[in-house]
Chain A
Amino acid sequence: MDARRDSEPTPMKNPTTTERKSDRELVVTRTFNGPAHIVFEAWTKPELLKRWWAPKSFGLTMISCEADVRVGGTYRLVFRHDAFPEPMAFFGRYIEVTPHARLVWTNEEGEGGGQVTTVTFEEQGGQTLLVMHDLYPSKEALDAAIASGSTSGTGETFEQLDELLVTLGASVKRS
């Protein structure tokens, strides 16, 4: 979807791709100009994670970032969006941690069992190919996430919004 501008002198950024791979899967890929152990470190040390996970350019601000990256360890990322007073939280548990290669965690902020996220880090000639794979429990769960524009948050504002959009969605489908 990116418009290519070859004339720009700034260094080329590696493209990010996203794809709905199947009824239940979303895949995001990106190459980084550094070795896998460094990219892995940036995903697993809270002080590094918080430097990139809530980009200001996207209107996000990190409030707190806890990540105990070991099998069974939990994470909790709290951040807010400029347009909303209520902070949002992402939280879950790491279920697989293979240093410099693979991370798997659960997403527990949604109701009814959220998606499981797998991130793999593959080094290729000093660069690292990162693949992030979200597996949803069902087609309906991913459809619902897309329909609601999800990825989740908490708070009354969102509940109101949720109810409103459900109502609106229903009336649109009727018409």
Chain B
Amino acid sequence: MVQYTWIGFDASFAALSDATRRGVLEHLGRTDASITDLAEKFHMTLTGMKKHVGVLEQAGLVTTEKVGRVRTCKLGLRRLEEEAAWIERYRQLWNARFDELDKVVEELTRKETVDGRKKRQ
């Protein structure tokens, strides 16, 4: 059994749903690498690898830095680990739930008011 989550991790989840991208993360866990290195390692075109790295970067899992002509990729897990960000995502989840719950409460309250009026009549 695992503690796992979807909380606001849409982007991270989508990023991690691809085997190549998971491989890239594993590789970057061992060492930083350029996009060219990664493309070679995973037998892909430079353009293909750039796309994968772009997805990982958007999800905050990887950061890249261009030095001269070489773009170096490294793990950027900070966002995932940051407590404030997690708590905000947790808030967003409950806020989304409570927005739906508002509708249920409103409907039931309205119904009760109408029923109450009927009874009094």
Question: What residues of chain A have their CB less than 8 Å away from a CB belonging to chain B?
Answer: 1, 13-14, 16-20, 26, 28, 30, 32-35, 38-39, 41-42, 48, 51-53, 55, 57-60, 81-84, 88, 109-111, 128, 132, 144-155, 158-162, 164-165, 167-169, 171-172, 175
Q: Shortest distance in angstroms between B31's beta carbon and chain A's nearest beta carbon?
A: 9
Do B83 and A146 touch across chains, with their CB atoms under 8 A apart?
yes
Set of chain B residues within 8 Å of A150, measured between Cβ atoms = 3-5, 7
Q: Would B2 and A52 count as touching, CB distance under 8 A?
A: no
Interface SS of chain B: helix, strand, loop or mixed?
Answer: helix
Q: Is the CB of A16 within 8 A of B5?
A: no
Whether B75 contacts A152 by the Cβ 8 Å rule is no
> In the complex, how many angstroms separate the beta carbon of B6 from the nearest chain A beta carbon?
4
Chain B interfacial positions (CB closer than 8 Å to A): 1-10, 12-14, 16-17, 22, 25-26, 29-30, 75, 77-78, 80-81, 83, 86-106, 108-109, 112
* Contact call B91/A148, Cβ cutoff below 8 A: no
Q: How far is the CA of A41 from the CA of B104 in the complex (A)?
A: 10
Residue of B nearest to A51 (CB): B104
Q: How far is the CA of A35 from the CA of B86 in the complex (A)?
A: 31
Question: A-B pairs with CB below 8 Å: how many?
Answer: 171
A60: chain B residues within 8 A (beta carbon): 6
Contacts of B88 in A (CB 8 A): 1, 18
Taking a contact as CB atoms under 8 Å apart, the answer to whether B90 and A111 are in contact is no
Q: A13-B102, A83-B13 are in contact. Are A110 and B29 (CB under 8 A)?
A: no
Q: Which residue on B lies nearest to A32, using beta carbons?
A: B105
Given contacts A52-B98, A58-B96, A146-B83, 9 further A-B contacts (CB under 8 A): A52-B103, A83-B6, A83-B10, A149-B4, A149-B12, A153-B6, A164-B16, A171-B30, A171-B75
CB contact under 8 A between A149 and B7, given known A84-B17, A167-B29, A172-B77: yes
CB <8 Å contact, B2 and A165: no
Closest B residue by C-beta to A168: B29
Whether B96 lies near A57 (C-beta < 8 A) is: yes
